[in-house]
Amino acid sequence: MDLFSDMDKDKCSGDDWVQPGAKDTWVQLFISLALGLSAFIAFCTLRPRWKTLYAARKRHADPAIGLPALPDTFFGWIPALYKVTEQQVLASAGLDAFVFLNFFKMSMKLFAIMFFFAAVVLEPIHLHYNDNDTRPPNSNVSTTSGLFRQYPMAKLFLDDGDHPDNSFDKDKSYLWSYLVFTYFFTGLTIYFTNKETFKMIRVRQDYLGTQSTITDRTFRLSGIPKELRTEEAIKDLVERLEIGKVESVTLCRNWKELDDLMDKRQTVLAQLEESWNVYLGQKLAVDGGRSSGNGNDNGDDAGRGLGGRTEEDGDEEAGENDQLVGGGGASSHLISERLRPQTRFWYGFLRLQSRKTDAIDYFSEKLRLLDEKIHVARKKKYDAADLAFVTMDSIAACQMAIQALIDPHPGRLLTKPAPAPSDVVWRNTYAPRLTRRLWSWAVTLFVAFLSVVWLVPVAFLASVLSICTIRKVFPAFAESLKTHEIAKALVQTGLPTAVVSLLNVAVPYLYDYLSYNQGMISQGDVALSAISKNFFFTFFNIFLIFTVFGAVTSIFDVLRNSLKDTTYIAYTLARKIEGLSVFYTNFIMLQGLGLFPFRLLEFGSVALYPIYRMGAKTPRDFAQMVEPPMFYYSFYLPTALLVFILCLVYSVLQGGFLVLGLGLAYFSLGYFTYKYQLLYAMDQPQHATGGAWRMICYRIMLGLVVFQLTVSGYLALKFAFTLALLIVPLLLATLWYSYAFRGKFEPLTRFISLRSIKRGEDPGGNAILDEDFGGEGERERELIRRLSTVDEDREKGLRFVNPNLIVPLEQPWIYQDPPPPLSESDAGDGLEFNVRGSEREYEPDTTGAGTSSSLRGPSRNAAPPRVGTGASSNSSATSVSLGDTHIWRE
């Protein structure tokens, strides 16, 4: 053994990466509490003042949902939020929010029990036997690590003589506690997962079985052969199956020309609105030098607009009337100084020539031509694609079609549940199936390539901030860190923890973009794919690279030794997990105590608001600023799953009670944070009908496998080989449960059983039982059946049709109130622009502005316009405040 003990003495081994000291946890605790408490106090202070942000969802929610209003007191919202029942969560936020929050709730219960046993039973055992151990701490780990790194088969020689099996050594009897509690904690985790799965399935089946939406009655039919690509042929085919009557068929067609025109129209519309904003803003700049002329200098700014203008200054739009009454001299001077915005456009051969022209004229004409093209394109006949949405007369008929094989030929007439009409990515519906598969494989390969690329920065991060590396590069700085424990703690643990947390925030945006461009048909599928990709990054690059590999130079050593010895990864995992306990403890501490209050504060929205405010130019920009932010599960669920796995892995090791305690705090704070955001502050993307639960279960099982491999490797490092082998049956049982879950539970997380569908002759027969919601009583149980569900409210009046075929065309949004949409008869006529004939450059439809709703719709939180009396003697004017702009409208 002495031969191998000093083989890595003069170089940084994998054990030296990110090795924190005892003071690191206290430093991280202070930093996390300072961050968390400051953000929490700021939230409690700003919440009643900024209701457009912190109560954005509640302000436009349906009052029939019955979501209680939270008090405006400093802490009064906390007990009110706690009292919101699961029934109310389900009724107001839907299945996805219910599943997400119940994962946190289940984790709280599980880790509370595990924390009790780890603190009361396991930790005293660890303290007693480690204090009585004559060897230095981790001496066997460091010795065997060097041995196994160079000679992985050397453990066989240790088994023969040097180190006998310690499984039955009386001095090592405490190692049996690892085995017992590994079985106990695994069984406890599977019990809670199984129990919660039964609950989720029953709630899901009852929720979807009792509602009636067009989505529940529609299935997606793909792989349609060319001879069946007509609505009549598809309807006849499905009705001949004798499963029900077909109400409607939407055959997807190649609408690319129309979709491209609509996209171009949105761009031109934004450019036209921006040009009008520049022109109207310039009017203010010119008008800002005028004096009021009425001698009113009492300091009252009630009627004053931007640039010092008062209501007595009159209406600039009424210039001709002012001349008639003899007051047009100043107005004529102002009119002559107004410069209309210019734009440069390119033309000629290869668009090599260019000239400037009036921007408002140019974009107005361009918009008119696009409207004419769209009007013609909507009447065209397009080639049929191989995908259709078939709406049946009943949910039962739809489910029978989904759960059956229709055609004996592989890849033809495949049925799947349909997404909601507003959830469909229509551009992908007419893309060829081969193209979508190629895009899917390309994105998958790119994600795999990124996983290899991420090895370099993550492993570099794991090594460059260690004292070992700093001592090589900056020896003087390393010596100074030895005398400053707090600075050393910040460098060794604080900085890696902060950088890893930043990676967890930034990388999901990239993977969300990749998922969206993978060619999927629905936004729900995109969301689930993003969850999977982000978890893979979090688990593989953040967890495995930090533990198994440790540094870039160690990656190839680990892979090479793993080929020689299949158990090498388990040994390496166990050896490094123990050394990184403080790092992962600090990681959970920062995520829970430090960052959750910042998420509650919506720090990103608050910090970016000034930037968006400076960039907002048009009324549409200002309206978008006050919309509720979106809650994306793919940004938050992967980190929660990683924390869940870390709590499992460290549960039986020394100091595991601390990790479990912090894990309990993490899931408790996360539950209340996300509950508030999902119910009151943030909107959700399109629903996936609780499909995230099966992904959660499979990741929990992966965590159990890692947990069991870690304990088995740890026992082997303690030379308790019999105990290590006794973990194998538990590992096999976990794999069997995963296989059984796929066949027994997964179909019920995808489909609706026929018995769960509520029929007229059996009202309330499938009601959710009280025990599913903790015995909340008959009155609460009836709530979900009396009210329409979130999906029913959202899908009311919708149908499966490409919105670009029917959506009303929007006019430029120039004033505070949105203009009415163009009617079909006006779509080819353009807008009423008289840019040179008179001073009334834009003539809005005064009969409908502010009363008719457009597709965009007015801002629900926009302030009402300020109304005053104009100075013109023969006309009255209305003063409309437009953010930074003050416009006078006749």
Q: CB atoms < 10 A from the CB of 263, how many?
A: 12
The answer to whether residue 779 sits within a structural domain is no
Sheet containing 414-417, strands listed edge to edge, beginning at the edge strand earlier in sequence: 246-253, 384-392, 218-222, 414-417
Same domain, 738 and 838: no
CA-to-CA dists, residue 320 to 317, 482, 623, angstroms = 8, 82, 34
- Domains: count for the chain: 3
pLDDT in tens, 315-373: 333 333 333 333 444 444 444 456 888 888 888 888 888 888 999 999 999 999 999 99
Round to whole Å and give the CA distance between 463 and 540.
Answer: 17
The answer to whether residue 822 sits within a structural domain is no
The answer to whether residue 826 sits within a structural domain is no
Residue 300: pLDDT band (50, 70, 90) is very low
What percent of the chain stands above pLDDT 90? 31
Whether residue 421 is predicted with pLDDT greater than 60 in this model: the reply is: yes
Give residue 833's pLDDT.
36
pLDDT in tens, 679-736: 998 888 766 688 889 999 999 999 999 999 889 888 888 888 899 899 999 999 999 9
Average pLDDT over every residue of 418-445: 90
Residue 547: pLDDT band (50, 70, 90) is low
Whether residue 551 is predicted with pLDDT greater than 50 in this model: the reply is: no
Round to whole Å and give the CA distance between 449 and 771.
Answer: 47
Same domain, 251 and 268: no
Same domain, 108 and 237: no
Instruction: Give me the DSSP letters along 661-672.
Output: HHHHHHHHHHHH
Smallest CA-to-CA distance from 639 within 507, 460, 546 is with 507
Residue 158: pLDDT band (50, 70, 90) is very low
Give residue 577's pLDDT.
78
The answer to whether residue 642 sits within a structural domain is yes
Whether residue 10 is predicted with pLDDT greater than 90 in this model: the reply is: no
Whether residue 23 is predicted with pLDDT greater than 90 in this model: the reply is: no
Same domain, 371 and 267: yes
Same domain, 717 and 607: yes
Give residue 189's pLDDT.
96
Instruction: Give me the DSSP letters along 577-605.
Output: HHHTHHHHHHHHHIIIIIIHHHHHHTHHH
- Which CATH number covers residue 236? 3.30.70.330
Radius of gyration of the chain (CA): 33
Give residue 428's pLDDT.
92
Round to whole Å and give the CA distance between 144 and 302.
Answer: 80
Highest mean pLDDT: which of 291-295, 330-334, 797-801? 797-801
Whether residue 383 is predicted with pLDDT greater than 90 in this model: the reply is: yes
Contact present, 306 and 886 (Cβ < 8 Å): yes
Give residue 499's pLDDT.
75
Give residue 451's pLDDT.
78
More reliable by pLDDT, 135 or 690: 690
Residue 623: pLDDT band (50, 70, 90) is confident
Tokens 């802490």 -> residue: 75
At 560, list the tokens: 């090479």
Range in 294-308, 450-464, 483-497 the model is least confident about? 294-308
Same domain, 472 and 540: yes
pLDDT in tens, 164-200: 777 888 888 888 999 999 999 999 999 999 999 999 9
Whether residue 219 is predicted with pLDDT greater than 90 in this model: the reply is: yes
The answer to whether residue 821 sits within a structural domain is no
Indicate the residue among 706, 724, 756 that finishes a domain.
Answer: 756
Residue 55: pLDDT band (50, 70, 90) is confident
* Average pLDDT value for the chain: 75
Q: What is the residue range of 838's domain?
A: 262-290+304-378+833-889
Contact present, 182 and 50 (Cβ < 8 Å): no
Same domain, 647 and 725: yes
Same domain, 326 and 410: no
Round to whole Å and give the CA distance between 719 and 158.
Answer: 9
Residue 163: pLDDT band (50, 70, 90) is low
The answer to whether residue 827 sits within a structural domain is no
The answer to whether residue 693 sits within a structural domain is yes
Average pLDDT over every residue of 435-449: 89
Same domain, 335 and 392: no
Q: CB atoms < 10 A from the CB of 433, how many?
A: 15
Average pLDDT over every residue of 861-878: 32
Give residue 867's pLDDT.
29
Average pLDDT over every residue of 77-101: 89
Give residue 364's pLDDT.
92
Average pLDDT over every residue of 244-257: 94
The answer for 817, left when phi > 0, alpha when psi is -120 to 50, beta otherwise, is beta
Which residues are within 8 A (CB) of 65 and not within 5 positions of it... i.e. 6 or more apart?
88, 91, 92, 787
Give residue 475's pLDDT.
75
Average pLDDT over every residue of 384-397: 93
pLDDT in tens, 470-485: 677 767 777 777 777 6
Whether residue 378 is predicted with pLDDT greater than 50 in this model: the reply is: yes
Same domain, 162 and 190: yes
Whether residue 116 is predicted with pLDDT greater than 90 in this model: the reply is: yes
Average pLDDT over every residue of 661-667: 95
Give residue 763's pLDDT.
47
Average pLDDT over every residue of 529-535: 90
Same domain, 321 and 408: no
The answer to whether residue 798 sits within a structural domain is no
Indicate the residue among 715, 740, 756 that finishes a domain.
Answer: 756
Same domain, 536 and 448: yes
Round to whole Å and give the CA distance between 385 and 469.
Answer: 59
At 131, list the tokens: 């204090």
At 462, list the tokens: 């794991």
More reliable by pLDDT, 3 or 499: 499
More reliable by pLDDT, 764 or 59: 59
Residue 401: pLDDT band (50, 70, 90) is very high
Indicate the residue among 361, 394, 418 that finishes a domain.
Answer: 418
Contact present, 165 and 159 (Cβ < 8 Å): yes
Helix (H) or strand (E) holding 247: strand 246-253
